Structure 1
């Protein structure tokens, strides 16, 4: 009797505890809550199937994710005659960071789990590939694997970046009953505060795809790619953060990623092993402060910034950079040592000038003077340009060479030929400095637009205009006689299917169009003032929004009788400077 009373008292105590905590959030019961959310995405079409797949189109119907004894929409995979070739390839319509979830029905015979093979693909051909062939890999994220699915249940895979999913049923003389196959996309549920519309629908689409390419990479940290590289590469962050500032405004993923880079790179190491990437970290700190003006956050960076600047200036000899570590701008320029030297000379100047401005804000005169003295020495030496668009762009942007000379002698040669998805942003910036806005829009339409013409829903790690002749689309099986745009090309670390087709560093046109066509650019620290100076080129009109710490700026520019009529709406805290 006493033991029963003790049990009853204990149960009453638990009941009271549950009542007291009934209003608590479930998140309060866990150690750390993810900043990410998820959504279910269903296939939009069947690209290919083989073997006996019964009622395959039912997989295109939206379900409820729940196994059920009754299901009139069951899809049956049937392997007969000791064969295991029943397969299907599904298109989910858009590239995403996601897992795949399979919900099963009730098959006959036994209730043991069934074995399937899953292959993710950023292209149709990648989803049809074999590991180790034409660069197909499981690097960074497992995208080719075996999985068991239960009788009357569901199972979910790990995540990768993909648009296409191939499923192979692996058991001979058996049936697999599926209720649903759906992707579970993981992302930051943040609004698009920036926008861009114009009289050119192709430019509008490019702006949107660039924005989405960065959005899908805003995971726990700001990644470079959702298939590969699922890493924080600091140099690659610069165009990504420019897009974040343009589209989303302040987001904690940026300082979180910058802090990770600092914490994982004790001096005298270079971030990611690249001296240039440590310089980009300084430039990012400057851009972040200009946009949001968080002095407390900047002060947290001061000790590291001081040590990093001392290290950089110590690598300048007689006004010439002599950086050690990996000497790198981007992959297409990596074998041109003269171009890398010229680019590093310009990048060192830019980073030290940005550091000088930050030290002035911090009241650190000694570090500021170190920056200024080194820059003064470096400006006396101008490396030869050669024919590198990467080097010409950086040198033009810091004023080592005349912007029009850089455009005429280097950047304009061949149009979009020798552009790159990463440094293409700085080439466009240099074209704007030379006043070549229409020409830059034509490059955007030609180079980035070509990826859209090939079926892209995100922009790629690299792209070369020489790949275009006779190339297949990424959303179709490669026709006989066509080249496979994904498998047959690429270089360095991105040969064949290892090539990432969702790389955040390729988003430069999004930031560029907002800054130069809408003409909106931050002018004072903390986003207290912005210049508005539109450049429509051949466009008839353009309009859009730009996020600030105080709300959105809205602009609309319309050509009327040879002049541009502009409407601007801005938060009262923001000063607008029209030039």
Structure 2
């Protein structure tokens, strides 16, 4: 994402911060305690506050040609005063160590200790430990470690304890206080303070350097991200670094998107590192005066997260597409799931929603999903849509429910539910007299980057997402036993769904029309609402087939040119059993980017463009992001619709694998789950499957009666068969594909 309007760009000089290259702080990996071992202590805070603080820091690091470029939307802050407590019962006295980010008072059973002790002894018996912390610049956080008493998610926290004392000294009843379970990540060492968090770095060398007079053109071989290192820098004068995702951008000193300018005054050679990390493949380094540089390398900056998912098949070009998609996701997975690494480095809800789904089939990195969801939502009161975009508010709701389905983390839903309610209240208050969502002052109706796409009136796509969001609210309300509102949200969703079809379905067009303007449905048909309604399962079978033929496979309907919406278009086709067609489209579209020189997938791709035309967007010659998270969607499509794996109940307690070759001769891969993997191999005559948790169902088609030792295969009719997959067992099915 980026501002649609052309931005007035100008250059400013910045000073270079001379620093010694050291390994930056990074989160420790979580280690489960062995039976009988001491519990794991970790830094804790109010849920969502570290995420908001970290997001503020990250999103305000964006620059355009040296100018500070802050986000467009309201940024919230962490609560500065926090109350932590834990009730314990000890058979014997226990000593605890206490570490705190901020000023604090430590109490035991309501009685404060003198000063700010870092070590106290808790007597045997029942006690309440309380730590109240104030911190304006960093998030109030604590780390407590004893033999059995440790700071973890079982501690309760609040930002207002509602405590008072009357004239007799009696303490008030604080039953009105809202306590939540503490938030944490994996800062599992007292020296690993949350306020000191930085991404990891790793030295990398350039693959080629070209000297031309007073300039160096450095090529790192593919899209990357990090800090440029200058070796043997000396002299007096100026140094300019022009970054480029393409060679053309790096050489375009007047129009490249990012740059650094440095004043140099050094009598002897030194090694130096740029202050801000940036995205690039090429760097054009130009010197003035007698400044010289011996060589250039970089510190690659990244979030340490492993690829748990995998995919390989008989088609080598598809394997390459999966590899580049995985690398694209690695680059865009940072403190949060961001959109593009060169330009924005902001958290956009629509981009992030797709990243969550791709993540579930690649990393299964739950903390980054929860951090991103919490950072996007921010605090009450709600004053605008998320990112100011109506559809992005609705994607946030969808991301919440998917989070529960894939992870089974009910606690997150319970703690986030009040913020879900207040955001939904905001939406409900902005409905028009017919109960529909229509853009009001301050609303951005995005949908997609598409020439001439109308946003006027009541757009069917927005009603569709709104309906799904209300259904999500009903499901989550039931999870937290809010039965009254669960019924309300269910009724509102049902009413809106009825209106969706009564207003927008056009029998003659065999589709939902794009919008209603001044009370009259338009004749314009676009792909957006129609393809979402397929995988939302809002259409009956007859409508699905009609939409497939008259919309999705109809070249007369405006085509989609962003990977963002190609994601959903191809998902809808896969949901209709068109894997063979989708395979061809993936090879053409994503393969086309590779043929055009992509080393990571782009924000937008139009095959009709040539050469440097590909790099232009937003009225700027290099405005397009050449590493955009929404370009990595083959990861999700191949995991969910070819390997065919998805959870049927939260956290993969039950799941299904429905492998579809789609014209491939064979494929194999892993799909990660909360506590293990699901391994799938499929050829035209054999399926092998193993799941490490839950109870799975293997569903497949066979032209002849299949067989499998140690399993019962049940015919479901029309050449469809099913068998149960028990956790930890490997099965091999012989069939005829």
TM bin (shorter chain): 0.7 to 0.9
Distance 1:26 1:240, change over 3 A: closer
1:567 aligned to 2:688? yes
Equivalent position of 1:71 in the other structure: none
SS, match of residue 191 in structure 2 = helix
Aligned mates of 2:308, 2:189 — CA distance in 1: 30
In the TM superposition, residue 494 of structure 1 has moved relative to its aligned partner by 6.5
In the TM superposition, residue 265 of structure 1 has moved relative to its aligned partner by 6.5
SS, match of residue 170 in structure 1 = strand
Distance 1:568 1:327, change over 3 A: same
Runs of 5+ consecutive residues of structure 1 not aligned to the other structure: 1-24, 52-85, 106-110, 473-483
Aligned mates of 1:243, 1:494 — CA distance in 2: 30
Aligned mates of 1:368, 1:526 — CA distance in 2: 22
SS, match of residue 99 in structure 1 = strand
Distance 1:241 1:435, change over 3 A: same
Distance 1:219 1:244, change over 3 A: same
In the TM superposition, residue 30 of structure 1 has moved relative to its aligned partner by 5.7
Equivalent position of 2:604 in the other structure: 462
In the TM superposition, residue 299 of structure 1 has moved relative to its aligned partner by 1.0
Aligned mates of 1:333, 1:244 — CA distance in 2: 30
1:37 aligned to 2:200? yes
> Which of 516, 534, 544 is the equivalent residue of 2:669?
544
Aligned mates of 1:149, 1:332 — CA distance in 2: 49
Aligned mates of 1:98, 1:494 — CA distance in 2: 27
Aligned mates of 1:461, 1:340 — CA distance in 2: 27
Equivalent position of 1:256 in the other structure: 371
TM-score (norm 2): 0.62
In the TM superposition, residue 333 of structure 1 has moved relative to its aligned partner by 6.5
SS, match of residue 625 in structure 2 = coil
1:511 aligned to 2:636? yes
Aligned mates of 1:270, 1:302 — CA distance in 2: 17
Aligned residues of 1:211 and 1:507 also touching (Cα < 8 A): yes
TM-score (norm 1): 0.78
> Which of 299, 304, 307 is the equivalent residue of 1:189?
304
What are the within-5 Å matches in structure 2 for residues 272-421 of structure 1? 272-314=387-429, 315=431, 317-318=433-434, 320-324=436-440, 325-332=443-450, 335-337=453-455, 341-380=459-498, 381-382=500-501, 383=504, 384-385=512-513, 386-401=524-539, 402-414=543-555, 417-421=559-563
Equivalent position of 1:453 in the other structure: 595
SS, match of residue 466 in structure 1 = coil
Aligned mates of 2:203, 2:458 — CA distance in 1: 45
Runs of 5+ consecutive residues of structure 2 not aligned to the other structure: 1-187, 505-511, 514-523, 700-737
Deviation string, structure 1 residues 236-295 (Cα, Å, up to 9, x no partner): 111111111111013322211211111157324210111211111111010111111112
Aligned residues: 483
Equivalent position of 1:214 in the other structure: 329
Aligned mates of 1:149, 1:126 — CA distance in 2: 28
Aligned mates of 1:333, 1:360 — CA distance in 2: 42
SS, match of residue 459 in structure 2 = helix
> Which of 209, 216, 223 is the equivalent residue of 1:95?
223
Aligned residues of 1:532 and 1:577 also touching (Cα < 8 A): yes
In the TM superposition, residue 389 of structure 1 has moved relative to its aligned partner by 2.2
1:269 aligned to 2:384? yes
Aligned mates of 1:250, 1:112 — CA distance in 2: 46
Equivalent position of 1:21 in the other structure: none
1:223 aligned to 2:341? no
Out of 514-523 and 150-159, give the one that drifted further.
Answer: 150-159
Aligned mates of 1:264, 1:459 — CA distance in 2: 33
Deviation string, structure 1 residues 487-514 (Cα, Å, up to 9, x no partner): 4x43xx4642121111112221211111
Distance 1:441 1:340, change over 3 A: farther
Aligned mates of 1:218, 1:184 — CA distance in 2: 17
In the TM superposition, residue 228 of structure 1 has moved relative to its aligned partner by 1.6
In the TM superposition, residue 319 of structure 1 has moved relative to its aligned partner by 5.6
Distance 1:208 1:355, change over 3 A: farther
> Which of 209, 232, 239 is the equivalent residue of 2:354?
239
Specify which structure has the higher proportion of helix.
Answer: 1
SS, match of residue 299 in structure 2 = strand
Equivalent position of 2:70 in the other structure: none
Aligned mates of 1:203, 1:41 — CA distance in 2: 28
Higher relative contact order (CA 8 A, sep 6+): 1
Aligned mates of 1:317, 1:434 — CA distance in 2: 36
SS, match of residue 252 in structure 1 = helix
SS, match of residue 512 in structure 1 = helix
> Which of 221, 242, 248 is the equivalent residue of 1:125?
248
In the TM superposition, residue 446 of structure 1 has moved relative to its aligned partner by 1.0
Equivalent position of 1:176 in the other structure: 292
In the TM superposition, residue 35 of structure 1 has moved relative to its aligned partner by 5.4
What are the within-5 Å matches in structure 2 for residues 54-93 of structure 1? 86-93=214-221
Aligned mates of 2:302, 2:632 — CA distance in 1: 17
Aligned residues of 2:239 and 2:291 also touching (Cα < 8 A): no
Aligned residues of 1:148 and 1:155 also touching (Cα < 8 A): no
Equivalent position of 1:522 in the other structure: 647
Specify which structure has the higher proportion of strand.
Answer: 2
Aligned mates of 1:250, 1:323 — CA distance in 2: 35
